[in-house]
Amino acid sequence: LRGPGVRRTRPPKIQVAAAAALRAFEGVEGILVVGYSYGSLVAMRAAAELPGAIGWAALNPPLDYGRALFLGSGAHLAAARASALPKLLVHGTDDQFCSDAAFDRFAAEVPEPKVVVLDEGAPHFDIRR
């Protein structure tokens, strides 16, 4: 692990992965970053740092879950609130890890362009229905 004051000499892994993906799929003009549950928080931040990102989607972000889950994720939410990329926000209205109120607040804070989808009656682990 790198200690304090150690300078990064290589690009972040997300940038390396993005460059490899764009090379592997010749002709692809961009990457849509999609995340589910905690992965949706990671997707928000990854899209901000990913060369070639054309947008992001957050499916059932666990916005009400315990503080331990969110240690270090403040940057993820800040990236979402600053994002100018197109975005899709999906919330199951029976999600036990994110109340409707928390999702509504977050969706209101995220700038356009965005599409907000409420999946009526869907719990956290059944967003695909």
Instruction: Summarize pLDDT for 78-119 with one digit per residue, the tens.
Output: 889 999 999 999 999 999 999 999 999 999 999 999 999 999
Taking alpha carbons only, the member of 127, 69, 116, 70 closest to residue 94 is: 127
Q: Which two tokens stand for residue 79?
A: 């990236």
In the beta sheet, which residues pair with residue 94? 123
pTM: 0.80
Residue 70: the pLDDT is 60
8-63: per-residue pLDDT in tens? 555 567 677 777 777 787 777 888 999 999 889 888 888 988 878 899 999 999 99
Q: With contact defined as beta carbons under 8 Å apart, do 70 and 45 qualify?
A: no
